[in-house]
């Protein structure tokens, strides 16, 4: 009987997290994420326990609130890596950024100002939550023309996509890749975000999974995500996380 149960249980490996996370706020003091090196260390150890080996962390860049430059981000990355080495935490920690779509970002892309990307020139960006930015299509066209692959952070969280799924399909048609937040599957942000996340997974419109981890509570949520049936469906999609 015990053997029968064992046979029915799916292989645990099929429900593993990707090895690579591409969205988090783990560099201390740069944004509304982690504030100290010690906090970073604790959270990164949790990621390692979950099976992650590489974290591409993405501080907010927003002209009004988070004026992080490439230099400040890379300097803080070096400082954090030195600390992790000293504490013998074995992980590959790299940095890109989560760019807020504003006029400054459009201008930077237009001016060929080098932006922090990851992998094959993937550019992680977010927008305001309520209404589609007027310059969204212009930005996507400009970014793709300049050789970036724009990756929209947590599409399921935007009200303007929740209420109009055709807009999401239109963005994909324009070359935008989608990064889903894992905690959305738990209903952590809202019911609307959860339902949109499920729909995106059903349609196969998810290219990256991300934790968007800002603090210790966020990484702890991931343990619950592992048992979520939509997580199981999401990890069976041809995700790009593990190509990085
Ligand atoms: Fe984020």
107-145 pLDDT, tens digit per residue, is 999 999 999 999 999 999 999 999 999 999 999 999 999
The Cα 32–Cα 42 span in angstroms is: 17
The class that CATH gives domain 17-243 is: alpha beta
Q: Please state, in angstroms and rounded to a whole number, the distance separating the CA atoms of residues 80 and 59.
A: 13
Question: How many A from CA of 209 to the centre of ligand 1?
Answer: 12
Return residues with CB closer than 5 A to ligand 1 (ion). 98, 212
Q: What does the pLDDT average to over 212-218? A: 96
Predicted TM-score (pTM) of this structure: 0.92
Positive or negative, the Cα torsion across 100, 35, 73, 152?
negative
Gap between the Cα atoms of 125 and 139, Å rounded: 10
Spatial CA neighbour of 227 closest among 17, 4, 2? 17
CA of 4 to the centre of ligand 1 (A): 44
Strand pairing category for 98-100 and 149-153: unpaired
Buried b (16+ CB within 10 A) or exposed e, 80-102: bbeebeeeebebebbbbbbbbbb
Q: How much distance in Å is there from the Cα of 230 to the middle of ligand 1?
A: 21
CA of 93 to the centre of ligand 1 (A): 16
Statement: residue 196 has pLDDT above 80: yes
Q: Quick: pLDDT tens for 1-51.
A: 444 444 444 444 446 888 999 999 999 999 999 999 999 999 999 999 999
Q: Could you give the percent of the chain with pLDDT greater than 70? A: 94
> Rounded mean pLDDT of 201-227?
95
Identify the pLDDT of residue 63. 86
Structure tokens at 195: 């339902």
Parse the chain into domains and list their residue ranges.
17-243
Compute the distance from residue 60 Cα to the ligand 1 centre, in Å: 7
Q: Give the distance (Å) from ligand 1 centre to CA of residue 85.
A: 25
Report CA(98)–ligand 1 centroid distance (Å). Answer: 6
Cα of 14 to ligand 1 centre, how many Å? 27
CA of 34 to the centre of ligand 1 (A): 12
User: For residue 182, what is the DSSP state?
Assistant: G
């Amino acid at each position: 009987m015990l053997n029968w149960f064992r046979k029915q249980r799916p292989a645990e490996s099929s429900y593993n997290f990707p090895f690579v996370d591409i969205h988090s706020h783990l560099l201390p003091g740069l944004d509304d994420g982690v504030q100290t090196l010690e906090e970073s260390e604790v959270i990164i150890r949790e990621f390692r326990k979950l099976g992650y080996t590489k974290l591409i962390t993405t501080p907010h860049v927003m002209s009004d609130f988070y004026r992080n430059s490439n230099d400040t981000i890379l300097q803080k990355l070096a400082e954090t890596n030195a600390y992790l080495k000293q504490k013998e935490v074995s992980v590959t920690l790299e940095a890109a950024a989560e760019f807020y779509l504003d006029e400054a970002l459009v201008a930077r892309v237009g001016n060929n100002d080098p932006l922090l990307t990851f992998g094959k020139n993937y550019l992680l960006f977010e927008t305001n939550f309520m209404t589609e930015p007027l310059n969204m299509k212009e930005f996507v066209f400009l970014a793709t023309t300049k050789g970036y692959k724009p990756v929209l952070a947590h599409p399921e969280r935007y009200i303007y996509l929740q209420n109009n799924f055709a807009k999401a399909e239109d963005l994909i048609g324009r070359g935008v890749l989608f990064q889903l937040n894992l905690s959305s599957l738990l209903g952590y942000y809202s019911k609307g975000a959860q339902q949109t996340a499920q729909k995106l997974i059903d349609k196969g419109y998810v290219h990256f999974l991300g934790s968007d981890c800002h603090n210790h509570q966020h990484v702890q949520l991931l343990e619950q995500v592992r048992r979520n049936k939509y997580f199981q469906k999401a990890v069976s999609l041809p995700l790009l996380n593990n190509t990085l």
